[in-house]
Amino acid sequence: MQSAPGTAAGRTGGKWWPLAAVTLGNFLLLVDVTIVNTALPRIADGLHASFTSLQWVMDIYALALAALLMVAGSAADLFGRRRLYVAGLTLFALASLACGLAPDAGLLVAARAVQGVGAAAMFATNTPLLMAAYQGRDRGVAFGVWGGTSGAAAAIGPVLGGVLTEYADWRAIFLVNLPLTAVAVWITLRWVRESHGDLARPRTNSVKTNSVRTNPVKRNPAALIDWPGAASFTACAGALTYGLMRGGEQGWTERGTLVSLVGAALALLVFLVVERRVRRPLLDLGLLRRPTFAVLMAAALLLQAAAFPYLTFVGLWVQNVLGLSPVQAGLAVTPMALTSLLIGALGGRHLQRMAPQLPVGVGLLLVGAGALLQYALLGDDSGWAALVPGLAVSGLGIGTAMPVLVSAALGAAPPQRAGMASGAVNTFRQLGYALGIALLGTVFADALHGLGPGASREAVGAGYVTGLTHIMLISGVVALAAGLLVLAVVRRGGDDADRAGQAGGGDRGAGADGAAGAASARAGAAAGV
């Protein structure tokens, strides 16, 4: 008879199978952030997609992931982490199939959005599942492997996308997910045991009826999720991203642009009101009154916005102007990922011992210096090699800042808010990537404005270089400013003066497992988006 997952017999012969299931899903969802980069020119040709459509192909995945990450964590605590992880894998696979079969850009964008929903369910559950599966030294090994594969996803994504695009077809970058997700689902159902979070535990204020204690969570578990907060946050992020893209294409005073931006502001206002009133908010706004925590959230958003989005437009330049193949285009941007992995692997343990403002602040300064170095070296006659020094410096900054960022955010929050802090910092990271694509894309598109089909190759190349230098300058200045802000404000241990006041919230909004958040921070050598 087959042993059930989680039993002693079931665990004896498959100690590391839960790690394999979680790591495979985590790798897939992170690879899909960047695997599309090198395929964009072929997608544009195959689907006759506009530049704005290509932006949405990149952006909608990260946007859905960011918007739903916190609510997915709450749902996993209530309904079961394994259950939600399998549901996320299944939805991710079905959406990948839809992406691979998409007949036009509109359907591809819609399928990418659904992919992001599945990825949010996977991302919110992978570290709690590892926490439930392993203890002691095994837990350290598991999170080390988890963190290493997260970083590898950043390095492999563009190259893997290039290989599949060049030697198969751009649709293969999505269809390859199908057998891999099937394997992950099978391993999860066979070897991973179910677990729930604090939200699913009976409360001391349960009601007695006929001498039987009833648990309100069992009667209506979905009522414990902050649905109004999730809806307003999603509306704000979506409207803001749409407004930024539309503004770059149609103009900032155009009616649709203004409606989108005003709608984003109103949705943000609703979110703030809701979070102050609900018993279990997605984000306890009291945390943002802590200067250290607030600045770290800004740093997470700005680091992601400055370090990664411009690589999308670099990929277009090296293929459309320099004539590199998809594989060569993927290899051209790997210096950033490789140096970030190197610094994370060699210095990650030492970085965690420093005062957090040093690695996070200095890392941001290095990211800014790398972007400005590319700005200085890139010219109309440049080849891809002009990017290498700046990418390497930025990679050093990413490898320095990223492993400490999540653990610093956890240190700036009360222990009972550890899960919420972990979810918030990851949400801000993904939101930074989505907004960076939208905002930098408008700058890049503006530089190409007026280049019609009859433009000379020299004019097209000059337009691409102008757009790239503009967005590299913006990225560099943003990262430098964020680094200086972190160095000026962030302190070890957060803002202890107001810690006592925040600690009185009890279980309110605790969300995902706090220990899981801390463990994921220690595994933060992951260098990718």
At residue 517 the predicted structure's pLDDT band, cuts being 50, 70 and 90, is: very low
pLDDT of residue 356: 86
Mean pLDDT of 312-331: 92
217 — phi, psi (to 5°)? Answer: -65, -40
Question: Tokens 């006592």 map to which residue?
Answer: 500
171 — phi, psi (to 5°)? Answer: -65, -20
pTM of the model: 0.84
Mean pLDDT of 349-356: 78
N- to C-terminal Cα distance for the chain?
43
Mean pLDDT of 286-291: 91
At residue 140 the predicted structure's pLDDT band, cuts being 50, 70 and 90, is: confident
Using DSSP's 3-state secondary structure scheme, residue 214 falls into strand
Least confident of 89-93, 160-164, 286-290, 509-513: 509-513
Judge contact between 509 and 478, C-beta under 8 A. Answer: no
Q: Which residues contact 21 (CB under 8 A, 6 or more apart)?
A: 129, 184, 187, 188, 191, 192
At residue 369 the predicted structure's pLDDT band, cuts being 50, 70 and 90, is: very high
pLDDT tens digits, one per residue of 290-310: 999 999 999 999 999 999 999
pLDDT of residue 371: 96
Judge contact between 67 and 191, C-beta under 8 A. Answer: no
Handedness of CA 78, 82, 83, 86 (dihedral sign): positive
pLDDT tens digits, one per residue of 196-206: 765 555 544 44
